[in-house]
Amino acid sequence: MAGSIKTGRVIKEKDLQEELKDCRIFGIQEDAIGKHLKRTIGVRRFKLVKITHTDREIKEKGKELINLDNGNFGIVDNYQNIGLYEAVDFEKPGRSMQMGMMPSKLAHLLINLGTELDTEADKKEILIWDPFVGSGTTSFLANFMGYDSIGSDINIKFASKNIERRKTTDFAHNDKKLNFFTQNSTEIVGSQQRKNYNKVIIVTE
């Protein structure tokens, strides 16, 4: 889910030496545990890292461990994609206080919820539709996640202003459909828009 700050695996302490054999530094929350692991597994140094924070050096050059007690540790494999949310939320040429401001992290969460309802569906069979597209946040997150997407509103000028900037970011999948069109939200999306998809998932505020 988008709310996760860190995700990873559980591993036994006895398996840490193999896991960290090529690691020059690891992060840990407790000094005593860090010293113990440094002594027993031979990693050159460790750094204290809060579980709710991200340390760039550990993220880029090492491994972060989380002590789970009873001889178990968590190995952090993935971190929340702050860069993605910044690229979608900030410095947009098209924005207005007259419309709702869907945070990209919330859009990420809602798309995850919608698509998790059918884990067997192929992404190519799913179309993400935001009937209150605003500045395009939901469509941009759907595009990043590998889904075709459409956005509609009675006024699409703000979303349209943002699309060129969005295509230039490192998070854009320009091979995926991403279209905006003018439409009243009380109307069902037309058959032409739904063509070639088995499922349309509505994601909006």
pLDDT for res 33: 93
Distance of alpha carbon 106 from alpha carbon 2, whole angstroms: 7
Mean pLDDT for 99-127 is 82
* Domain assignments of the chain as residue spans, ordered by start: 6-79, 82-202
At residue 9, what are phi and psi to the nearest 5 degrees? -125, 160
Q: Which of 122, 125, 118 is nearest to 199 (CA)?
A: 125
Distance of alpha carbon 84 from alpha carbon 172, whole angstroms: 10
pLDDT for res 173: 94
pLDDT for res 44: 85
Mean pLDDT for 110-118 is 82
pLDDT digits (tens, 9 = 90+) for 81-97: 888 888 888 878 877 66
Distance of alpha carbon 33 from alpha carbon 28, whole angstroms: 7
Which residues, listed in sequence order, are joined to residue 153 by a DSSP beta bridge?
182
Residue 4 has pLDDT above 70, yes or no: no
Token duo for residue 162: 């943002």
Q: Which of 18-22, 69-73, 98-102 has the lowest mean pLDDT?
A: 98-102
pLDDT digits (tens, 9 = 90+) for 142-153: 999 999 999 999
Q: Which of 110, 144, 107, 149 is nearest to 128 (CA)?
A: 149
Considering the segment(s) 82-202 as one domain, its CATH architecture is: 3-Layer(aba) Sandwich (3.40)
pTM attached to this predicted model? 0.70
Q: Which residue has the higher pLDDT, 52 or 200?
A: 200
Distance of alpha carbon 134 from alpha carbon 98, whole angstroms: 10
Given pLDDT bands bounded at 50, 70 and 90, which one contains residue 2? low
pLDDT for res 193: 85
Give SS3 for 62.
coil
Given pLDDT bands bounded at 50, 70 and 90, which one contains residue 102? confident
